[in-house]
Amino acid sequence: MLTSRILPPLRHHTPQLAQLRQTTTRFPANTTTATTTSPLFRPLARRSFHATAPQNSALDAWLYLPHELLQTLHVALPWYAAIPVSAFLVRGLLVTTLGSRSRSLTSRYVALHPLRQAIGVKVRDQMLRKGGMRGPREAKVAVMKAIRRETGALDRRWRCTLLGSFGWTLLQLPLWFTMTEVVRRMGGFRDGLLRMGMNALGLAGENSAGGDAATAAAAAELAGSSYPRDIVANPWFDATLGHEGMLWFPSLLDADPLGALSYVVSALMFANVYVTKNTAGSVGTEPTRFQRMLRRTLLGVSLAIGPLCTDLPAGLLLYWASSTMSVIAWNQYLDWKFPVVRNFGACKRPLLLMPPPKIRSGGRSPAT
């Protein structure tokens, strides 16, 4: 007879759970693990082969707050609305704190670009008049070093280096991976990129889903349940994702039946990269070769997401699309709050035209 496993408390009960309870047996009454409560509501048992208490996974602690945010929103909203709202709120929290600071530095850096060019011309003329270089190559190196030194002093004086912008760009990736990992766990999907990275660093624990391997193996042997492994070994699992979708994808646990969500994500990412304005070309200078290659690479990756991600669950694609839409919306807010100087052009303000000079009776103007 199969020894029963202790099941974690679940918020949502399904017919599969009722059948799973019937096939689960109790421990004998004379054992130390016996209890008067139902085995469905016993705490999750963990096997330990060491005297010290097992440590919780660092990844579980990192994902606690995002998971609580999603569950709090789900109290008042269905999942098809709670997931987009969470993406918008998380992006808004990031933009109103670190994003505003980074964009203000970028706006100030771009506004100083004409002065930076003037300093470069002045330093070059001074170095050429001074002379003392043995050849054109040495003169070019000396001029570039002097220009870099003067422009660096200007940036430090105005506190507008680009390190803050780079840090802002790199900070967005871990946050996106964190939210997608939470959605992945709640749906019981396969290991994601964040889980793989934590495994490589040895920080994911024995089983980040919330149980040990023996519990998952025993649960897989139990019949009569559609989600035996998810129910037993994954306390993050939420069965309501299976019937709180919308439109043509009623289930967020399964792949999009039409395969359109991945192409929606692809179009949104392509539009986000294509219409972005914080590039070198927006300040009157030609983008560098690296910037052109990076932009083309991102556009190519955006186009490849559509056919490559058609088999992803609808819940992950819904958060991905919502996150990209929130990025576009909040970028518009940053462009309005911290405008970046564009190319030189005509003044947009109405010009005050001087009245024409009056002609004297003799036919001569006052200027003559």
Split at pLDDT 50, 70, 90, the class of 225 is: very low
Residue 222 belongs to a domain: no
Residue 257: strand, helix, or coil: coil
CA distance 238 to 295: 39
Q: Do 322 and 259 fall within a single domain?
A: yes
CA distances from 133 to 129, 142, 253, 270, 315 (A): 11, 8, 70, 49, 65
Q: Mark 316-350 as b/e (b = at least 16 C-beta within 10 Å).
A: bbbbbbbbbbbbeebbeebeeebebeeeeeeeeee
Residue 41 CB neighbours (<10 A): 12
CA distance 185 to 208: 9
Find out whether 219 and 232 touch, Cβ atoms under 8 Å.
yes
CA distance 59 to 366: 83
Find out whether 322 and 84 touch, Cβ atoms under 8 Å.
yes
Q: Do 176 and 81 fall within a single domain?
A: yes
Q: Do 287 and 326 fall within a single domain?
A: yes
Q: Do 85 and 151 fall within a single domain?
A: no
Residue 362 belongs to a domain: no
Q: Do 96 and 241 fall within a single domain?
A: yes
Rg of the chain over all Cα atoms, to the nearest angstrom: 31
Q: Do 243 and 150 fall within a single domain?
A: no
- What crossing angle do the helices spanning 113-130 and 136-158 adopt, rounded to 10°? 140
Residue 296 belongs to a domain: yes
User: Above 50 in pLDDT, residue 126?
Assistant: yes
Residue 66 belongs to a domain: no
Residue 59 belongs to a domain: no
Q: Do 173 and 315 fall within a single domain?
A: yes
| Mean pLDDT, all residues of the chain | 71
Q: What is the pLDDT of residues 291-348, one digit of tens each?
A: 788 888 888 888 988 888 888 888 888 999 999 999 899 888 888 888 776 666 666 6
Of 97-106, 196-205, 243-252, the one with minimum mean pLDDT is: 196-205
CA distance 152 to 178: 36
Q: Do 249 and 300 fall within a single domain?
A: yes
pLDDT of residue 234: 67
| For the chain, percent of residues with pLDDT exceeding 70 | 61
User: Above 70 in pLDDT, residue 45?
Assistant: no
pLDDT of residue 273: 87
How is residue 39 annotated by DSSP?
A: G
Q: What is the pLDDT of residues 95-115, one digit of tens each?
A: 888 888 888 888 888 888 888
Residue 86 CB neighbours (<10 A): 24
Q: Do 175 and 294 fall within a single domain?
A: yes
Residue 96 belongs to a domain: yes
Q: Which domain holds residue 280?
A: 76-101+164-188+236-337
Domain count, the chain: 2
Find out whether 23 and 222 touch, Cβ atoms under 8 Å.
yes
Q: Do 299 and 331 fall within a single domain?
A: yes
Q: Which two tokens stand for residue 50?
A: 């060491």
Residue 363 belongs to a domain: no
Residue 254 belongs to a domain: yes
pTM: 0.63
> Mean per-residue pLDDT for 4-23?
43
Q: Do 321 and 179 fall within a single domain?
A: yes
What single string gives the DSSP state of each residue in 164-176?
HHHHHHHHHHHHH
Q: Do 148 and 173 fall within a single domain?
A: no
Most confident of 41-55, 79-93, 233-247: 79-93
